Each structure stands twice: as structure tokens, then as C-alpha cells.
Structure 1
Amino acid sequence: MLSTLRIRHIGVIDDATLEFGPGFTALTGETGAGKTMIVTGLTMLLGGRLERGRLREASTVDGTLALAGHDELEAALDDLGAEEEDGEVLVVRRVTRDGRSRAQIGGAPVPIGTLARLVGTAVTVHGQSDQQRLRDPDAQREALDRFAREEIEPLLERHRELWRERSALTERLAELDDLLSERDRRATVLRETLERLEQADPQPGEDAALRSELERLGNAGELRAAANQAALALVADDDAPAAGPLLDVAAEALGRASRTDDSLAPLVERLEASRIELSDIAAELTRYAEDIDASPGRLEEANERLHELTVLIRDLAPVLSDPDVPVEDVTALLEASRGAAVDLDRYDGADQERAAAAEQLESTQAELDEAAAALTAARVAAARELSDAVQEELRHLEMPDAAIRVDVGEQSHRIHGRDAVAILLAPHPGADHLPVARAASGGELSRVMLALEVALSASRSDRTAAPVFVFDEIDAGIGGRAALAVGQRLARLAQHAQVIVVTHLPQVAAHAGTHLQIVKSSVDGSTSSTVETLDRAGRIGELARMLAGDTSDLALAHAEELLEEAGTVASGAQASAGTRR
């Protein structure tokens, strides 16, 4: 439900606040007072565009929308970081003079597309040029599905599940076909490559270790000389000075002294440990010098193995790895080979998986066909009921000779089924049934649209999720009994929804529960408009103006009579609706 609407600086409206009732709200006013600007403001709030010609300065529209029933909007508040208060959310749209647009939901900035998606689905605006429900085949199908929601929704959801399952299976089959085609090209090459790799049996890091070894073997003479020199410096066999003998002298001297002063004992122990460590180092250096070229053929052997590994990387890397990921050593080659082994496993199981997927797809397609047939049967039955319901509403709207028909035809299979829904109208006996947007005149189109909305709303079982309908001069082109009938049916629609109507007919306005008047005033050659909520006396005066153009006693009496009659009809309709429920 739309609780309030504040419009600033749109057309002739400087600043106006509208408070809507929960049922039927009528907006009336003199020609040029700005009734259309109210609808323009509402359209802005729903994400619509504002024509530059209606901008005098920055224009702003604020609307307070009750969240009850608008599940998508309510669910989105947390994600948007928006705030609600007492079950209502403030929606703001601002357009600057240069055409830049800003929007907020619950204080959180949102793109205009998000505004249109979340708020635009909560409020439906119907004008003389935008009865999209009567023009768009998808919208007509969705209307039929809502009309018979209890029967159709479970079938539709089942169909959607099967459609998604079939789509996934079809996609998987295509992937498996590509895999099998790839297998024919790559599997043999991969197997031969992995066999060659297995025969060579490279170890992670082996090529790096060989390079280090070759560096060492290539400098064996220098390394041996260095090791021997270091060993001699530690423990010489002749009288040349060396660290070992000097350490022996120090240990012996300190040992004698420790017999006199036992506090030196720890130092003696450390010297003994150093003598042992020095002797071990000298022995290891001697062994290193003796072993560094113990195998004269090792240099050639290491060179041959490194060459083998280099050729292996050069030949196998293009087969095993992604061209964009260079393979520069044995470790990377072995890592790439693991991916190739996984690919081979996938190739080996692809035949069986494809056969299973094809069998499952065939089964799912059969289930999908059954689901589509059940959906069609439910829609055909619902179409008959909707046709009857709209036909009855048209009779009440002074179109008794018009024949409405809701056809369910066939189209290409899509996620919502195989059904193409079309609302057809024969405006008079003997006329062909044509798409209603082509068969009906402007006034007839408005009444057909109203009949459809009344039928759809009357079928709703969830009264808490009442939609909001805005009708912009739905009564254009009609008068007399037809105008009275339109007012009555709008009042009936308002039993299940919030209805906001811009009208110039007193027969329509009299049926409203809330009456707002757009009042035009001129000061110093400048025209502006405000909005007033009318009490009973104000309503009678406004209805008299609409009836006769003045507020004479006769016009006032006629207006009061019209208001009384509308109230009596509305009370009877509410009682009848309560009995049916």
C-alpha cells in the first residue's frame, strides 16, 4: 500500500503531499490543475523518466510504501542497507535540472534500475497508452497464471525444475562430446608422453641437483686443494704450525693449572671438546679431498643425464602443459604430468558418463513433456474461467455485447511451458475475435483492462499482499451508465487492492473512500497547484462542480444524491463480498 506521496517542483505543482486511503482514492481537479503531474510523480517513484519540459528546477518525489505483501522489496532491504520503520519504507527520487537522477530506498542510494525492479513491481500504473497487460503475450500468460495460482504454480515450478535439469544435462552432454572429440586427438599422444616420462623416471629437483654436482666436479682440483690446505692448517703431520697441536699445548697447560684451581675445570672441558671437533673437521676435509674425484666417469655420466632431462622437458612440456604456463625444470614437468593423468582418467570414463547422461536426458525430456502437457491443461481450464469472469465484469461495465476469450495456443518450448496466451475481444456480435489492444477503442480498452484487473484481484486468496493500482483517466471516452459502472467496478477492485484513480467523472469519484482534489491557483501571473483531502462537504462541492460546473443548490443536491447512491452500492458490494468469502 502507498501511504503518502510528496511531490516538489513538477509542472505546476510546487509542493504537494497526498495521503492515500487503503481502498479507493480518487484524484480530481479542474483542467490544467496538474492531475497528470500526480501520475508523473508516481511514475518517477517507480523508476520512470521525467520529461525535461516539466522541470523548472530540481524535482523530488517521496513516497511511503507499506512492505506487507511486497516480499521482494522487503527481502532486499538488508542487502541494500536500507531501513524501514513500522513496516513502511521511504522511497525518494530526485531529478536535477540538467537531468541527472538519484534514488534512495530506506535511506540507501540505489540505481534507477533497482528502483524500477523493486518498487515498480509493487505499484501498477495504467494509462490510456500503457495497458501493457493487454499487449504483451508474456504479461497475459503471467496474468492467467496468477488467476489460477493454486492450480498452476506447483505445475509451473515443477516444469521450471525439469527445464533447468534438462538444460544442465544438455550442457553436460555437449561438454562430454567435446571431451570425446578431444580424446580422439590427444589420448594417444598423452599416453605415449606419460610412458616416456615413466621410463626416464626423473625425480623432483633432479636437474638442479645435477647442475650443482657438475659445477662441483668441474672444479674438483681447486676444491681438493682447498680441502687439503684446510686440513693441514688444522692438524699438520710435520713441524709446521697448525691449530691442532697448539690446541693440545693449551689444553695440557690449562689441565695442569686446573689441578691447583678447580675453577678452571669447565674451561678445560671446553678445550677438550674443541680438540675433538677440530679433529673431526680435519678428518671430514681429508675424506672430501680423497672422494671428490673418486669416480673419473661421473662427470660424463652427470652430463649425459642432465642432457636427457633437458631434452625430456623440451619434448614433453608442449604436450603436458598449458602454452601460457612455461615449464622450465623437471619439478614443473612432473606437476604438469599429473594434470595429464587426470585428463586421461576423464577420457577413460567419458563414454560411460555420456551414455548415462544421454539416458537421463531422455528420461528428463519425457518428464518435461508431461509437465508441459499438465501445465497446458491447467491453463486451458483457467482460461475458460478467466474468460467467464472477465465477461461478467464487462457486462457490469456496460459492454454486454462484447465477447472476451482467453486463448491458450502453442509456441516454442520455454522455461514456462509451451503455451502462448492471448486475450481476444469481439467488440460486437458477428465481429472476429482479435487481440484486445487492436479490437477495442480507447474507452473499451480501459474497461477491458479494468475488467481483467477486477477478475484477477477477486481470485486472490492472499488478502495481505494487496497490490497498488494507479489508473490515469481510465474513464476517458465514456459517460453515463458506463461511467457509473466503472466507478462501481473500481470500488469492487478496491476491496482486494489499493486503487488510485485520476478521473474527471463524478460518477467514478463518488465511489471513492478517499477523495483528493488538486487545487489550482494563480498569483502574479504564475500558476501553481496544491492537493487537499476533502471531507464530506468538500466532496459534495467538488462533485457538484464536476456535474454542473458550479455549486448551485440543484448541483449540490444532485452531488449529494450521487454520493449517497455510491455509498449504498459500496456497502452492498462489501456485504456480498463478505458473504462469498
Structure 2
Amino acid sequence: MLSTLRIRHIGVIDDAMLDFGPGFTALTGETGAGKTMIVTGLTMLLGERLDRGRTRGSSTVDGTLSLVGHTELAAALDELGAEEEDGEVLVVRRVTRDGRSRAQIGGVPVPIGTLARLVGTAVTVHGQSDQQRLRDPEAQRDALDRFAHTEVGPLLARHREIWRERSVLSERLAELDELLSERDRRGAALRQALERLEQSDPIEGEDEDLRSEIERLANAEELRGAAGQAALALVGDDDGPAAAPLLALAAESLGRAARTDTTLEPLVERLDAVRIELSDVAAEISRYADSIDGSPSRIEEANERLHELTLLVRDLGAMLPGPDGPAEDITALLATSRTAAIALDRYEGAEEERAGTLGRLEALEAELSETAAALTAARLTAASALSAAVQEELRHLEMPDADIRVEVAAQSHRSHGCDAVAILLAPHPGADHLPVGQAASGGELSRVMLALEVALSSSRNDRSAAPVFVFDEIDAGIGGRAALAVGQRLARLARHAQVIVVTHLPQVAAHAGTHLQIVKSSTDGTTSSTVEHLDKPARIRELARMLAGDDASDLALAHAEELLDEARAVAIADDAPQAARR
């Protein structure tokens, strides 16, 4: 439900606050008073643009929307982080003269598309050229499905679930076919490459280690000689001085002095540590010299292994490419081989998975066809019931000779089934049934749209989440008894929804539970409008003005009061059967 609407600086409206009732609210006023601006403000909350000619500096619309019963909308706003207070959320739209637009829901800035999507789930605006429900095939099918939600809803949900699963499996089947095709192209080559790699059994960095070893072996004599000289310089022999004996001599001399002066003891300890370290270094140098194998057999063996690994990288690098291209060494080749092994594992399981996927798809196709057939049958039954319900409403709307038909025809299979829904109208006996947007005049189209809304709302099972319908001059092109009938059916629609109507006809306004008047005034050559909430005496005066153009005529006032009394009597009579059923 839309609780309040505040409009600032749109057209002739400077600042107006509208408090809507829960049922039927009528908006009336003289021509040019700004009634259209009210509808313009409402459409702004649905993301519509504002004509720059109606913008004065900065135009703003604030709407307070009740979330009671709108579970999905409330969940979406909660996910958005929107703030609510007492079950209501504030929706704000601001448009500047240079065309910039801002929107907020519950204090959270949102794109205009998000604003339209969220608010549009609760509010529907119908204008003289905006009966999309009667023109859009998708909307017509949706209307039929909502009319028979109890019967159609579970089938439609199941059909869409199967459709989604089938879509996912079809995509997976295409992926598996591509994988198996790739297996046929590359699988044997990958397997052969991995087998060759396994036979060679390289380890990471082995080629680099071999190059280092070959370089060392090629210079074995030189390296051994250098190591021997280094060891000799450290430990010496009987013919000459060396570091180790000299260091031992220094330690012994300093030790004797330390017995006299204890401050030298730390230096003695350091000399001992250096002597031990020097001894260890000399031992390692000796072992290094002994380890150098300069034999031709070892050099030949290392060269052969390096050649084998080089060929392996050259031959398999292109077959097992990595993200940066062919591998350039053994380490990179081993990394890409692991990826190839994973690919082979995928190939091995792809055929079995494909068989299972294909079997499931065949089962889904059968279930989908069965569900689509049941959905069509349910829609055909619902179409007959909706046709009868709308036909009955048209009889009440002074269109007894019009014949409405809700047609369900076959079309290509889609997520919603195999059905195309069209609402057809023969406006008088002998006329062909045509799409209602083509067959009906402006006044007839408005009444057909109203009949459809009443029928749909009457069929709703959940009354807690009442939608909001805004009708902009639905009574255009009609009068007399038809106008009375429209007022009565709007009042009936308002039992299950909030109805906001901009009207010129007193016969329509008289049936409203809440009556708002747009009042125009001029000061210093400037025209502006405000909105007034009318009590019963004020309503009688406004209805008299609408009837006769004069709110002071006793005859017009009497007629206006009579209209109100008759509307009240009709409402009481309509409520009596419902009260009895309760």
C-alpha cells in the first residue's frame, strides 16, 4: 500500500502532501489544477522520466510504501540494506532541470532501473495509453497464470525448474562433446608424451644440475689443484709454514699470558674457536678435492643424460605447452605434464559422464513435455474461467454485448511452456474477435482493462499483499450509466487492492473512500496547486462543482449528496454477501 506521497516543484505543484486511504482514493480538481502532475509524481517512483518543462530547478517525489504482505519486496530491500520503519519504507526520486536523476530506497542510493523494478512489484499505473496488460502477450499470459495461480502456479514452477536443469545439462553436454573431441585429437599424443616422460623419470632442476656438474668435471684437474693448495696453506706440511700451526702457536702463547692476566681469556677462547673452524674448513676442502671425479666415463655419462633431457624438453615442450608457451627446461616440463595428466583424467571420465548426462536429458525432455501439456490444459481451463469472469464484469460496466475471449495457442517451447495467450474482443455482435488493443475504443479499452483487474484481484488467494493500482482518467470517453458502473467496479477492485484514480466524473469519485482535491490558486501572477483532504460536506461541494460547474447550486448540491448516498448504499449491499459468508 502507498501511504503518502509528497510532491515538490513539479509543474504547478510547489509542495503537496497526499495521504492515501487503504481502499479507493479519488483525485479530482479543475482542469489545469495539476491532477496530471500527481500521476507524473507516481510514475517518477517507477523510474519514468520527467519532462524538463515540468521541472523547476529540482523536482522531488517522496513516497511511503507499506511492506506488509510484500514478502519478496521486503526481502529484496533487506538484502539491499534499505531501512524501514514500522513496516514502511521511504522511496525518494529527485530530478534536476539539467536532467540529472537520483533515487533512494530506505536511505540507500539505487540505480533508476532498480527503483523501477522494486517499486513496480507493488505499484501499477494505468493511463489512457498505458494499458500494457491488454497489449503485451507476455503480460497477458502472466495475468492468466495469476488468475489461476492455485492450479497453474505449481505446474509453472515445476516446468521452469525442469527447463533450468535441462539448460544446465545441455550446456554440460556440449562441453563434454568438446572434451571428447579434444580427447580424440590430443588424448593419444598426451598419453604417449606422459609415458615417455615417465620412462625418462627426470627430477626438477636435473638439467641445470647436470650442466653445473659437466662444467666442474671439465675443469677437474684445475679444481683439484686449487683445493689442494688451499688445504696445504691451511694445515701445511713438514717443509713450510701454514695457517693452522701458526694459529696453534699464537693460541699457546696467549694462553700462557692469560694465566697472568685473566682479561686475555676471552681472546684465547676466540683463537681456539678460529682454530677449530679453520680445521673444519681444511677438512671440507680435502673432501671436495677427493670427490672430484675427472674420469672420462663420468663426463660421458653426464653428457648423455643431459642430451636425453634436452631432447625430452625439445620434443615434449610443444606437446605439453604451459600458459607461457612451450617448456624450456625440465622443471617447466614437469609442471605442464601435471596439467596434462589432469586433462587425461578428465578425458577418461568424460565419456561415462556424457552417457549419464544424455540419459538424464532424455528423461527431462519427457518430463518437460508432460509438464508442458499439463500446463496447457490448466491454462485452457483457466482461460475459460477468466473469459467468463471478465465477461461478467463487462456486463456490469455497461458492455453487455461485448464478447471477450482469452485464447491459448501453441507456440515454440519456452521456459514458461508452449502457450501464447491473447485477450481478444468482439465489441458488438457480429464483429470479429481481435486483440483487445485493436478492437476497443478508448473508453471500451479502459473498461476492459478495469474488468480484467477486478477479475484478477477477485481471484487472489492472498489478500495480505494488496497491490496498488493507479488509474489516470480511466473514465475518459464514457459517461452516464457507464460512469456509475466504472465507479462501482473500482470500489469492488478496492476491496482487494489500493486504488488511486484521477477522474473528472462525479459518478466515479462518489464511490471513493478517500477524496483528495487538487486546488489551484493564483498570487501575483503565479499559479500553484495544493492538495486538500475532503470531509463529507467538502466532498458534496466538489461533486456539485463536477456535476454542474457550480458548488453553490442547491440543485447540484442535492444531486451530489444523492450520489454519495447511493454510492454508500451500493457499498453496503456489496459487503452484505461477504459479511454473511464470513
Taking structure 1 as the reference length, the TM-score comes to 0.95
Superposed displacement of residue 322, structure 1: 4.0
C-alpha distance in 2 between matches for 1:119 and 1:221:
89
Letter in 2 for 1:434: L
C-alpha distance in 1 between matches for 2:463 and 2:31:
36
Please name the residue that 2:554 is paired with.
553
C-alpha distance in 2 between matches for 1:258 and 1:479:
129
Superposed displacement of residue 136, structure 1: 0.7
Superposed displacement of residue 265, structure 1: 9.3
Contact between 2:404 and 2:425, CA under 8 Å: does it hold in 1? yes
Please name the residue that 1:406 is paired with.
406
Contact between 1:72 and 1:118, CA under 8 Å: does it hold in 2? no
Please name the residue that 1:131 is paired with.
131
Superposed displacement of residue 506, structure 1: 0.3
Superposed displacement of residue 70, structure 1: 2.6
Contact between 2:220 and 2:294, CA under 8 Å: does it hold in 1? no
Please name the residue that 1:82 is paired with.
82
Please name the residue that 1:309 is paired with.
309
Higher alpha-carbon deviation: 60-69 or 48-57: 48-57
Contact between 1:495 and 1:574, CA under 8 Å: does it hold in 2? no
C-alpha distance in 1 between matches for 2:581 and 2:37:
39
1:261-309 CA-to-partner distances (Å, cap 9, x unmatched) read 9999998888667655544432331232233234333334333332332
Please name the residue that 1:28 is paired with.
28
Please name the residue that 1:91 is paired with.
91
Letter in 2 for 1:557: A
Superposed displacement of residue 50, structure 1: 1.1
Q: Please, which runs of 5 or more residues in structure 1 have no aligned partner?
A: none
Higher alpha-carbon deviation: 288-297 or 547-556: 288-297
Question: 1:16 and 1:272, CA in 2 relative to 1: closer, same or farther beyond 3 A?
Answer: closer
Please name the residue that 2:485 is paired with.
485
Question: 1:59 and 1:266, CA in 2 relative to 1: closer, same or farther beyond 3 A?
Answer: closer
1:447-487 CA-to-partner distances (Å, cap 9, x unmatched) read 11101111111111211100000000001111111100100
Please name the residue that 1:460 is paired with.
460
Please name the residue that 1:40 is paired with.
40
1:123-176 CA-to-partner distances (Å, cap 9, x unmatched) read 000011010011111111111111111221111111111111111111111111
Please name the residue that 1:564 is paired with.
565
Letter in 2 for 1:389: A
Letter in 1 for 2:3: S
Query: RMSD in angstroms over aligned alpha carbons?
Result: 2.2
Superposed displacement of residue 394, structure 1: 0.8
C-alpha distance in 1 between matches for 2:217 and 2:227:
14
Question: 1:265 and 1:8, CA in 2 relative to 1: closer, same or farther beyond 3 A?
Answer: closer
1:409-454 CA-to-partner distances (Å, cap 9, x unmatched) read 1111111111111111111122222111111111111111101111
Superposed displacement of residue 80, structure 1: 2.8
Higher alpha-carbon deviation: 384-393 or 558-567: 384-393
C-alpha distance in 2 between matches for 1:275 and 1:324:
53
Taking structure 2 as the reference length, the TM-score comes to 0.95
SS of equivalent to 1:56: strand
Letter in 1 for 2:102: R
C-alpha distance in 1 between matches for 2:578 and 2:229:
115
Letter in 2 for 1:573: D
Superposed displacement of residue 245, structure 1: 1.6
Higher alpha-carbon deviation: 539-548 or 228-237: 228-237
C-alpha distance in 2 between matches for 1:218 and 1:294:
7
Does residue 203 (structure 1) correspond to residue 186 (structure 2)? The answer is no
Higher alpha-carbon deviation: 107-116 or 520-529: 520-529
Superposed displacement of residue 260, structure 1: 9.2
Contact between 1:81 and 1:108, CA under 8 Å: does it hold in 2? yes
C-alpha distance in 1 between matches for 2:253 and 2:87:
98
Please name the residue that 1:166 is paired with.
166
Aligned length: 581
C-alpha distance in 2 between matches for 1:212 and 1:470:
86
Contact between 2:423 and 2:435, CA under 8 Å: does it hold in 1? yes
Letter in 1 for 2:186: R
Please name the residue that 1:574 is paired with.
575
SS of equivalent to 1:69: coil
Superposed displacement of residue 254, structure 1: 6.7
Contact between 2:409 and 2:419, CA under 8 Å: does it hold in 1? yes
Letter in 2 for 1:500: I
Question: 1:294 and 1:280, CA in 2 relative to 1: closer, same or farther beyond 3 A?
Answer: farther
Letter in 2 for 1:372: A
Letter in 1 for 2:567: A
Higher alpha-carbon deviation: 322-331 or 409-418: 322-331
SS of equivalent to 2:94: strand
Question: 1:81 and 1:506, CA in 2 relative to 1: closer, same or farther beyond 3 A?
Answer: same
Letter in 2 for 1:166: R
Sequence identity, in percent? 79
SS of equivalent to 1:57: strand
Please name the residue that 2:439 is paired with.
439
Please name the residue that 2:501 is paired with.
501
C-alpha distance in 2 between matches for 1:522 and 1:276:
111
C-alpha distance in 2 between matches for 1:267 and 1:530:
103
Contact between 1:469 and 1:497, CA under 8 Å: does it hold in 2? yes
C-alpha distance in 2 between matches for 1:301 and 1:252:
51
Letter in 1 for 2:292: I
C-alpha distance in 1 between matches for 2:550 and 2:316:
98
Contact between 2:58 and 2:94, CA under 8 Å: does it hold in 1? yes
Higher alpha-carbon deviation: 25-34 or 178-187: 178-187
Please name the residue that 2:352 is paired with.
352
Letter in 2 for 1:99: G
C-alpha distance in 2 between matches for 1:151 and 1:286:
95
Question: 1:450 and 1:255, CA in 2 relative to 1: closer, same or farther beyond 3 A?
Answer: same
SS of equivalent to 2:386: helix
Contact between 1:202 and 1:330, CA under 8 Å: does it hold in 2? yes
Superposed displacement of residue 559, structure 1: 0.3
Letter in 1 for 2:562: E
Question: 1:580 and 1:426, CA in 2 relative to 1: closer, same or farther beyond 3 A?
Answer: farther
SS of equivalent to 1:202: coil
